[in-house]
Amino acid sequence: MSRIGNNPVAIPEGVTVEVKDNVITVKGKLGELTQNFDTVEVKVEDGNVLVTRSAENKESKAKHGLYRSLINNMIDGVSKGWTKELELVGVGYRASNQGNKLELALGFSHNIVMSLAPEIKVETVSDKGKNPIIKLTSHDKQLVGQVAAKIRGFRPPEPYKGKGVKFVGEVLRRKAGKSA
């Protein structure tokens, strides 16, 4: 029995939810998101979204909590938005942006220039004496996570000195290194 799937999702003010032909559409002040669903039933009743199983087979039970969580993330995204922050740790590592183009200097022979989707807003913060920080903001949680993972993948943090691109607040497992 899915404990998460049984919880109703509250719809805040300014957000509209429509269900039509196995597609749910959520509109809010920050944007619009759609999601296909199957093997579950989605109903909108008195300011709540209810997800119920249509059958008691293994696939329905597995997708019950999944679709409830996806709908909850969509509603939170169009009302509040999602933010990921990345920190560049290393000497000479820099980040700058012009609009939706992000330029990264990560110790390679050339800078990495990455153009981001129009749904994502990027901001770079470079304070003297502190590591540069990249802030990614969007209404789509999946898109923000995917772009953040791609940026982190250019130079993942290494375990000896901790140099690389890491999430703010991420705890790295450090190694002792060579003992003399």
Nearest to 9 by CA among 38, 37, 41, 51: 51
Give residue 61's pLDDT band: very low, low, confident or very high (50, 70, 90): confident
* Mean pLDDT of the region 142-155: 96
Give residue 177's pLDDT band: very low, low, confident or very high (50, 70, 90): confident
CA distance 51 to 75: 14
Indicate if the pLDDT at residue 1 is higher than 60: no
Strand partners, 96: 103
- Dump pLDDT digits (tens) for 9-47: 999 999 999 999 999 999 999 999 999 998 899 999 999
Indicate if the pLDDT at residue 2 is higher than 80: no
CA distance 165 to 87: 6
- Dump pLDDT digits (tens) for 124-146: 999 999 999 999 999 999 999 99
Q: What is the pLDDT of residue 178?
A: 84
Length of the chain: 180
Element (H, E) at 82: strand 82-89
- What is the chain's mean pLDDT, rounded? 93
pTM of the model: 0.89
**What token pair was written down for 130?**
């502190």
